[in-house]
Structure 1
């Protein structure tokens, strides 16, 4: 099989980055449990990851052509390897912050390089599409691994046992590094021909288009809602529902799986139903779920839950919100992309990264700051505020891009 080494390496890289990027919720819970960090301080982990991705995404166009994909990938993998080793030996809240900063910065480089390498190792449109979906599946497996397998390292008799998971991550990264190091590929990085200043100017000129600034508002509040829930779900499970830390983390995987199922179902029905109907229905159902399920959290008993059979119903139902929120991002992305000129797609991608990062950071910080003030059983009612703003932006976007509504098709999106 041609380029088998590079293909295996790409799978391993995406697996590790999926696991580490989506582990903020786990590390927020661990930081409180092991390092006695306050919730509002633990909330700072999201900005360390998101703002690092946003920052490097902006400057990547100017420095990646100078060093090339191979060197860029090797530097990124080495940085994350050191981050994982630093986590194991550093064993402190500072080590967690450094880990997320390195993972964020490295992923911004790796994501671009992986997409280029997929083009290099596939020889037809069909094989490209097939390999791409395999890579995305591996990304999902990485997330599930982090929430299901990683907690198996937790040990109530040894509070540092969980750090061994990072030695496993470091080993997988080392294998990827060696494969990439000895693989022969020479792909030229396309120069944009523009300076960083010109790129940023082009990006902000997009705001003259009302579709773009409405979309920016949508992206900000959508990711705020999503990350607020995703980051604080393990803490909610542990503190509000009284699940033991291992079970609290493992139950959060339902949210990740419900997002995947939601996107899959959307992909099937978007051919028959207009995007605005799917998006609005999903959003309203998400709000109804918050209003119906959160009151259940008030009636959970005081006894600590350590067995699957004793889990309260709310621990299954609340993460199902992913099923209803999942369609929004890819549907709106697709609608907006079809409403703007093709040459504007690249600066638009920059805007998506920027507003997603700021939104994710805000959501995590707000929930972290308000968790103890409102109480875990009430704090997620705050998600109804951005949901109301998202609803208005959906109707606005629909009226602005009506001419292009027929062209909309579902595309994989992820602001991972």
Structure 2
């Protein structure tokens, strides 16, 4: 009995360790908007150059997701987690050396590579600590909920540091300190064993590339791309769309008839992130009680309506509807990740997580870029960029309608449930 209790405590510790990793990663990744403002002033760079802080970070994640995702399957979750966390901590501490703009871009790229390594291992680990595909989805929503918390904490921390005359690089130093703490905890924790079938070849780069031909991996990867492209439209371009007159500081919110609307326009991104975080905590409860495909189709439909309503009704309607998408977006990406990974044996979870992560990062990089190009081609009006985002959300909705009607992954999930999951989880000795 004491061994069972100890094992459960160990699994709980692993779950919290995973949650804190997601939160720490979000503290830096979703603070990029605040950091870009400071970097432009500090280094006198253009908008295009400053945007590389976001793009190169995502490129780093995409590269390591596709080309290094197999590490967690080949060498184990624990070594891969510690490798990724160590690289991330080093990249954070190197900000203390100062340096020029190119040096910072190099550190940003390195941190993206590190995130791709430890995130694929963490995603694979979620499968190891889950006793069913349904529990897997709940835990994934929990991890993304803490990511949502980090997305709120990070920008607030940057703003606090700047208001108090402290350089923004200390956000990374703080994140590095938290990362170091997570490494220490990870070294002390016993991890569940990942069972590799006798006839299974060790995972390698070709394992990742083969998944690009797998219909299950590609279906969820394309879904993740479309979702993230639509989501990033909100936190990247919503502030520009909600401005009344971008050319005048005094008239930026003059088109709003009351003070409440002006305040909501000013803090729209924070409201969006807050609603997304709340929705993901609710999602833990929802996904244990409702059929996942129906939840996703209705929530994606609500997102599409919010985009259409915000475009047709203009800024005074969009100031409410665009942030509201946070509630409906909350459960979509964690569920895509969970169900996509759950379509494969646990010994492949790191590799498939890497492939989905590649398309996730590609969507985060390509979506805002395409919107920016379309916006510039139409006189700088962000409305045209949001038409592109509406197309992304429409395609996402149609895909989820097909999934609800045809249920193409139902049999595959049932097979994996029977073959891979059980209520008994063993742990490896350190």
- Paired residues in the alignment total 381
1:153 CA displacement: 0.6
- Mean Cα deviation higher: 195-204 or 124-133: 124-133
Equivalent residue number for residue 301 of structure 1: none
TM-score, normalized by length of structure 1?
0.70
Map 1:1-400 to 2 at 5 A.
2-3=9-10, 9-60=17-68, 62-64=70-72, 67-90=75-98, 92-115=100-123, 135-155=143-163, 158=165, 161-181=167-187, 183=188, 185=190, 193=201, 196=204, 198-200=206-208, 202-206=210-214, 217-233=222-238, 240=246, 242=249, 252-263=269-280, 267=286, 271=291, 275-294=296-315, 296=316, 318-326=322-330, 328-329=332-333, 349-368=353-372, 378-392=381-395, 394-395=397-398, 398-399=401-402
Give the superposition deviation at 1:10. Answer: 4.5
Does the CA-based 8 Å contact 1:18-1:140 persist in structure 2?
yes
Distance 1:344 1:178 in 2: 25
Q: Is 1:21–1:100's contact at 8 Å kept on the other side of the alignment?
A: no
Distance in 1 of aligned mates of 2:333 and 2:145: 18
Q: Distance in 1 between matches of 2:409 and 2:79?
A: 43
Structure 1 residues 198 and 327: alpha-carbon distance in aligned structure 2, compared to 1, 3 A threshold:
same
Q: Which moved more, 1:211-220 or 1:379-388?
A: 211-220
What is the CA distance between 1:29 and its match in structure 2? 3.0
Q: What do you get for the CA RMSD once the two structures are aligned?
A: 4.7
Do the aligned partners of 2:137 and 2:338 also contact (CA within 8 Å) in 1? no
Counterparts in 2 of 1:319 and 1:131: CA distance versus 1, 3 Å:
closer
Q: Distance in 1 between matches of 2:110 and 2:71?
A: 17
- Aligned in 2, Cα 1:186/1:261: closer, same or farther, shift over 3 Å? closer
Per-residue Cα deviation, 1:198-243 (whole angstroms, up to 9, x for no partner): 424532333xx5x876765544333222223323456778994958
Q: What's the offset of the Cα at 1:26?
A: 2.7
Return the alpha-carbon distance in structure 2 between the equivalents of residues 336 and 166 of structure 1: 32
Per the normalisation by structure 2, the TM-score is 0.68
Tell me how far 1:193 sits from its aligned partner: 1.5
Deviation sequence 1:150-175 (CA, Å, 0-9, x none)? 3111138x4x6333333322222222
Gaps in structure 1 of 5+ consecutive residues: 297-312, 410-416
User: Structure 2, unaligned stretches of length 5 or more?
Assistant: 1-5, 253-263, 414-430
Residue by residue over 1:32-60, the C-alpha shift from the partner in whole angstroms, topping out at 9 and shown as x without a partner, is: 34333222222223332222222222333
